[in-house]
Amino acid sequence: MTWLITGGAGYIGAHVARAMAADGERVVALDDLSAGVPARLPASVPLVTGSTMDADLLRRVFAEHEVTGVVHLAARKQVAESVDRPTYYYRENVGGLGTLLDAVAEAGIERFLFSSSAAVYGNPDVDLITEDTPCAPVNPYGETKLTGEWLVRAAGRAHGIATVCLRYFNVAGAAAPELADTGVFNIVPMVFDRLTRDEAPRIFGDDYPTPDGTCVRDYIHVADLAEAHLAAARRLAGAGPAGDLTVNIGRGEGVSVRELISVIGDVTGDRRAPVVEGRRPGDAPRAVASAARAAEELGWRARRTVPEMVDSAWRGWRLHHGK
């Protein structure tokens, strides 16, 4: 098979492209380079610069590279921005997906892997979030991911496309320093940023109903996430002409914010005490995945630990920020 990876030069996309190429899959990347970095991609993976909104470009890429499957990661992904710019997020995330699916159906492509998010669940009051936990997103970003899942499944049923939707939890780490996340939007780089500026880490709320009062989350190493995509692609490659599967991608273990900051202190050697501030609106006390279906359906389990995530992310941070 030949797989098109949209968003293939991004933080997650490049890890997926490298993992699939290393496993012998033929891969081509499509990226508008708004956040992607071409140097992240291995030399064996051609990069096409452009958008999933460009139907003519998609047709050319599918034909020229004889694409037989699509891994769709390209999306706008910042929760706060989605609250400020909801129409932009719906246009990019849902509109772009619709254009892509139309082109996929027109080209007769029968395998489609969709990058979704645990944001589709919102803030469920459960110990472990299963794929059957009701979805109730609390921001436009999560809404676009849930709408995207509906659209993917509907297109799959209408056009005989086998589909997989991966709902992944909090991603961290890097397979190599040059592949590290360069943004400061998630908790690990946010803490690194504070320490680099000689400021204490921040905790938003320490009065939650959790063992230490801080929010508990499920963290997944980006290299494990890339391997989950590879496992899902293998599943699709062996699937019949139709069918759909939705799978959580997480470790199934909760780590509190205070525990995570302690691990960061151990890795960086900067163990200054965090500053506690007020709660942020919409933060759930606990959001931890059930990873059972991923093991059963994909034969996949996360292998890397939280200290490994933090250590690899710190090496990437130092490379990109000169510390």
Q: Are 134 and 141 in contact (CB under 8 A)?
A: no
- In the set 121, 141, 168, 219, the catalytic residue is 141
Buried b (16+ CB within 10 A) or exposed e, 194-224: bbbeeeebebbbbebebeebbbbbbbbbbbb
CA 68 from centre of chain: 22
Catalytic, 168? Answer no
Nearest partner of 112 among 40, 52, 183, judged by Cα: 52
Q: Are 52 and 100 in contact (CB under 8 A)?
A: yes
Cα–Cα distance between 310 and 300 in angstroms, integer? 22
Cα–Cα distance between 63 and 48 in angstroms, integer? 13
Cα–Cα distance between 21 and 103 in angstroms, integer? 24
| Tokens standing for residue 140 | 């436009």
Catalytic residue positions, numbered: 141
